[in-house]
Amino acid sequence: MQIKTVEANGNNSALQVRALRKAYGDQTVLRGIDLKIAKGEIVTVLGRSGSGKSVLLKLIIGLQKPDEGTIELFGTEVTQLPLNELNQVRKKLGFLFQQAALYDSLSVEENVAFPLRRHTRLSDAEISERVQQMLARVDMGKDLKKMPSEVSGGMKKRVGLARALILDPEIILLDEPTAGLDPITTKEIDELVLSMQKEREITAIVVTHDLSSVARLADRIVILKEGNVIVEGKPDEVKRSEDPFVREFLELS
Amino acid sequence: MTNDERLGKPNILLDFLEWFGELAQFCLRLVKAIVTPPFELRELLRQMHEIGTKSLPLVAIAGSAIGVVLSMHARDSMVRFGAKSLIPTLIIIAVIKEGGPIITSLVISGRVGAGIGAELGSMKVTEQVDAIEASAVDPFKLLVVTRVLACVLMLPLLTIVADFCGILAGWLANALIEPMSLQFFIVNGFQTVTFSDLFSATIGTLVFGLLIGIIGCFEGLRTQGGTAGVGRASTSAVVIASLFVILADVVIVRITILLFSH
């Protein structure tokens, strides 16, 4: 199996998005997004609801196809890849959905074990050990046997995060990982993402509305408005932005 | 969104054609997914248990009921024509050729078709299907191929159970009115049953299983609009699958008569 490598992509780039455009019927959600993210970088994506943040994540992992533009992951252009090759790339990604999207017929433990069972040859004992370790890191070590319907929304998010991290991905895409969580759990989740970055040089794209998380996590901030990137830069640079929308957004958040 | 939705007027014909077009694409994708690895054998076995084993009591009861009803009708009709000796034959042929297969298919369409539609519909609207795909697993192979194959494989077996229970219940209902040994009932009844009777009925149930599986999965994965959408998917799955089973029965009976009539 040969995967086309784009030479133009820099060595240090984990993800590069060029002129990405997506519309649903008459409604254009993304209007030509350009974005480059280096290995080990944490980028937070901000914007009003409906500005295309979640769509951007779904395009990156290939759940939806862009109308125009390219997405390069680890130097591989992925938008035109056949499914089996795309799945090879997806194994290097972790995705946390906005509503966690846990498999409701599987227990918490089985949810987190799912990627390991599908993509590794680990024994049941090894899988169980790794799952318990990961769930302990998100403070869910005591709820292994519970079903998703028996845990709270915040707990589902933490299980979803554990599932996203269990294969040691190189890039994690987190869609509002701390929405609905209390401040202490929010801080713990942020610290977990930071520790993964330090330990494994993980790259993260975090869609969030939580400015305290942004302050803790972001190496760089991207703000979307009506499908366009209106501001992109380091946190200090974005805070100094004179753009009226950015000023209002940051003041009200 | 269809053209007429944009224009603000419903077009039933266009929606109907669009539905069939999507169904045809779904079937082509299914054929391709069935013959290409990886094969989800563990999930297939789980679905065979869910669809087959767990349907056994329902199918046994339905089969028995149809056997009793056919016995009562057969006795009533045959006595009028002075042909009581044909009662076992009539019951057994009616159960094997039509009663068992169709009642099993309709019961499974209700239990399994609705279940598949609701389950996949719920998974669709809660992004669980997307989560499977994001985990680098083909949800079509994991969810659709396994369920369709399980329906195809289990329906003939469930039909045999329904036939067995129907014949036994038919004999019992008959024997309660006029004592008759089971051995006599079976030997007498099966005298005119040919291999083609069993063969055509079995082929028919394979087709019915295929239809139930495809429609259940197709309607489930088309679900839109939250909880209400899941309800609609479940209802559509049962109604359309049942209708397709009955229509397919007409075609299959006609074909088997053409092929096997003496």
How far is the alpha carbon of A211 from chain B, nearest alpha carbon, in Å?
26
Residues 1 to 30 of B: which have CB under 8 A from any A CB? 1, 6
Residue A119 to residue B126, Cβ atoms within 8 A: no
Q: ipTM of the assembly?
A: 0.89
Among B6, B127, B133, select the one facing A99 at the smallest CB separation: B127
Residue A91 to residue B136, Cβ atoms within 8 A: yes
Annotate B183-205 with b (16+ C-beta within 10 A) or e (fewer): eebeebbbeeeeeebeebbbebb
CA A33 to chain centre: 17
Interface contact A23, partner B, CB < 8 A: no
Which chain A residue has the Cα nearest residue B136?
A: A87
Interface contact B183, partner A, CB < 8 A: no
Residue B136 to residue A90, Cβ atoms within 8 A: yes
How far is the alpha carbon of A236 from chain B, nearest alpha carbon, in Å?
34
Q: What percent of chain A has pLDDT over 70?
A: 95
Q: Are A52 and A227 in contact (CB under 8 A)?
A: yes
Q: Kindly state the average pLDDT of the residues A115-119.
A: 94
Which chain A residue has the Cα nearest residue B135?
A: A115
Suggest the residue from A81, A88, A102, A156 to mutate for an interface test with chain B (most B CBs closer than 10 A): A102
Interface contact A71, partner B, CB < 8 A: no
From the CB of residue B181, how many other CB atoms can be counted at a distance below 10 Å?
A: 11
pLDDT tens-digit map of A178-214 = 887 888 888 888 998 898 888 888 999 999 988 888 9
Residue A103 to residue B133, Cβ atoms within 8 A: no
pLDDT of residue B172: 94
Residue B134 to residue A119, Cβ atoms within 8 A: no
Nearest residue to A170 (alpha-carbon basis) of A206, A202, A194, A199: A202
Residue A63 to residue B1, Cβ atoms within 8 A: no
DSSP letter, residue A219: S
pLDDT tens-digit map of B195-211 = 888 888 888 899 999 99
pLDDT tens-digit map of B81-122 = 888 888 889 999 999 989 999 999 999 999 999 999 999 999
d(CA B45, CA B41): 6
Residue B1 to residue A25, Cβ atoms within 8 A: yes
DSSP string, chain B: --HHHHHT---HHHHHHHHHHHHHHHHHHHHHHHHSSPP-HHHHHHHHHHHTGGGHHHHHHHHHHHHHHHHHHHHHHHHHTT-GGGHHHHHHHHIIIIIHHHHHHHHHIIIIIHHHHHHHHHHHHTTHHHHHHHTT--HIIIIIIHHHHHHHHHHHHHHHHHHHHHHHHHHHHHHHHS---HHHHHHHHHTT--HHHHHHHHHHHHHHHHHHHHHHHHHHHT--SHHHHHHHHHHHHHHHHHHHHHHHHHHHHHHHHHHH--
Q: Are B157 and B55 in contact (CB under 8 A)?
A: no
How would residue B214 be classed by pLDDT, with cut points 50, 70 and 90? very high
d(CA B67, CA B168): 7
Does the pLDDT at position B167 exceed 90?
A: yes
Residue B130 to residue A115, Cβ atoms within 8 A: no
- Judged by average pLDDT, the poorest of A32-36, A76-80, B190-194 is B190-194
How far is the alpha carbon of B94 from chain A, nearest alpha carbon, in Å?
40
